């Protein structure tokens, strides 16, 4: 298995990582940055693991499924936290994190 078989999951991970980076950056511009601290932290962690998962899948790594299982958990946690905030960037992030978690769960199964 590799890139072509896992392309939808790779694409979901890359899209999620990009929006998580955008969300984290946007959260730093909010009036109450301290209130956004958990969101920023999870955004950064989620982006990191999504990039790593996409990279391992594109290489056809035997460890990609294990990492995708962890990625799904982190994406769900990020989606839950972002979903608490009513900013446009957080709502967009929550949506793409949920989609990525779904793809990663399928891939890891």
Average pLDDT over residues 57-63: 95
Contacts of the segment 40-43: beta carbons below 8 A, 24+ positions apart: 42/74, 42/77, 42/78, 42/81, 42/82, 43/78, 43/82, 43/93
Mean pLDDT computed over 40-61 = 97
Q: Could you give the CA distance from residue 19 to residue 84 in angstroms, rounded to a whole number? A: 16
CATH class of 7-108: mainly alpha
Residue 2: per-residue pLDDT: 80
Domain spans of the chain, in order of start: 7-108
pTM for the structure as a whole: 0.95
Residue 62 CB coordination number (10 Å): 9
Give the pLDDT of residue 60.
94
Question: Among residues 20, 91, 80, which one has the least CA distance to residue 49?
Answer: 20
**pLDDT at residue 88 is higher than 80:** yes
């Amino acid at each position: 298995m590799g890139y072509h078989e896992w392309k939808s999951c790779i694409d979901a991970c890359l899209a999620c990582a990009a929006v998580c980076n955008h969300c984290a950056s946007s959260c730093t511009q909010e009036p109450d940055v301290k209130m956004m601290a958990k969101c920023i932290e999870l955004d950064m962690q989620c982006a990191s693991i999504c990039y790593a998962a996409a990279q391992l899948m594109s290489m056809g790594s035997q460890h990609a499924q294990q990492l995708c299982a962890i990625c799904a958990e982190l994406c769900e946690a990020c989606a839950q936290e972002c979903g608490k905030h009513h900013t446009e960037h957080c709502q967009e992030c929550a949506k793409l994190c949920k989609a990525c978690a779904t793809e990663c769960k399928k891939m890891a199964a």
